[in-house]
Amino acid sequence: MSSRRSRSRQTGSTSRISDDQITDLVSKLHQLLPEIRNAHSDKVSSAKVLQETCNYIRSLHREVDDLSERLSELLATTDNAQAAIIRTLLMQ
Amino acid sequence: MNKYNPPRMNPSSLRSRFATRFLRSLSEINAQKPTASSSSPTEIFRRYRRIKVAADKSMAYSVRSRRTWSRAMLWKLRTRPCGRRSVKTSTIVRKTRHEKQNKNTTTATTTGEDGVVSGVEADELRELVPGGEAMDLYNLLDETAHYIKCLTTQVQVMKKIADFYSP
């Protein structure tokens, strides 16, 4: 069983992935989420963190969609010169 | 004459790499528009699709092959325009069938101090992160963290551009 698991890992080491590493990663994810940290932030369950992560990714996807739509509508009314201006401003 | 000096950006940061690529794609999309019907709903929708693809593509190219999710997204984008959906799904099915054996060992209850990592949420996450179907739990969490970081960068840059364009 451990050999099957090590084959699926990309680092190629044969050690088992410890639960501590998993919980470390889960807490790292928890830090990235924009929720208001409550007093029990250390004890949030992994399942909850994963759930919140899924919701957050979905909301980010929705934001990208909305912004793309907004940009599409805005492009209908502007000309090419402004794109060049923005590019030069941002590339400095 | 007062010259406005914008704050210096790190040219090799993810944000500037993405912004440069995305702006380039935007000006290409802008140049392609037919001036007569550029405000019709269908044109707006078509452009919206193209902008969305350009944003995802720009982000994936900015990350290159350094990450599994970006590799998966680049692959998805390459097979997408040709419309050869059948090729993509058959390969993914082959992959997931091979990985399903591993999946059962890794998504079954992993008990940590803070509770049980259930397989259901991990599966949901796999659907959201590109390339997630073929990853074990450890890599999935790692890739998710990087993916979220890149998505927030993408949203920030797009928001700035949209604010710049709006009257």
* B2 domain residue, yes or no: no
pLDDT tens-digit series, residues B142-157: 888 899 989 999 999 9
Higher per-residue confidence, B15 vs A18: B15
Q: What is the mean pLDDT of residues B48-55?
A: 90
Residue B99: which H helix or E strand, with range? Answer: helix B85-107
Higher per-residue confidence, B120 vs B131: B131
* B21 domain residue, yes or no: yes
- CB contact (8 A) between residue B118 and residue A47: yes
Which pLDDT score is estimated for B2? 62
* B6 domain residue, yes or no: no
Structural domain for B148, as ranges? 14-110+117-165
* B28 domain residue, yes or no: yes
Structure tokens belonging to residue B114: 């803070």
Q: How far is A38 from chain B (nearest CA, A)?
A: 16
Q: What is the mean pLDDT of residues B84-109?
A: 47
C-alpha dihedral, B150 to B155 to B160 to B163, nearest 10°: 170
Are B117 and B137 a contacting pair, CB within 8 Å?
yes
Residue B91: which H helix or E strand, with range? Answer: helix B85-107
Q: Please choose, from the candidates A92, A49, A36, A35, the residue with its C-alpha nearest in 3D space to the C-alpha of residue B144.
A: A49
Which pLDDT score is estimated for B111? 44
Number of other CB atoms surrounding residue B9 within 10 Å = 14
* B1 domain residue, yes or no: no
Using an 8 Å CB-CB cutoff, list chain A residues near B148.
Answer: 29, 32, 53, 56-57, 60
* B8 domain residue, yes or no: no
CA distance B54 to B143: 21
Is the entire prediction scored with pTM above 0.90? no
Q: What is the mean pLDDT of residues B9-24?
A: 84
Query: Which of B65-74, B108-117, B119-128 is predicted with the least confidence, judged by mean pLDDT?
Result: B108-117
Number of domains in chain B: 1
Report the largest interatomic distance among the alpha carbons of chain A, rounded to a whole angstrom: 61
Confidence of residue B99 (pLDDT cuts 50, 70, 90): very low
Using an 8 Å CB-CB cutoff, list chain B residues near A70.
Answer: 162, 166
**Three-class secondary structure of residue B63 per DSSP:** helix
Query: Which of A56-60, A79-83, A85-89 is predicted with the least confidence, judged by mean pLDDT?
Result: A79-83
CA distance B106 to B131: 17
Q: What is the mean pLDDT of residues B111-130?
A: 70
Q: How far is A36 from chain B (nearest CA, A)?
A: 17
* B3 domain residue, yes or no: no
Chain B 28-47, CB below 8 Å of chain A: which residues? Answer: 29-31, 33, 38-39, 43-45, 47
Contacts 24+ apart (CB under 8 A), A24-30: A25/B138, A25/B141, A25/B142, A25/B145, A26/A50, A26/B112, A26/B114, A26/B117, A26/B141, A28/B141, A28/B145, A29/A53, A29/B141, A29/B144, A29/B145, A29/B148
pLDDT tens-digit series, residues A65-79: 999 998 888 887 765
Average pLDDT value over all residues in chain B: 75
pLDDT tens-digit series, residues B124-141: 888 888 888 888 888 888
Q: Which residue of B has its CA nearest to A84?
A: B27
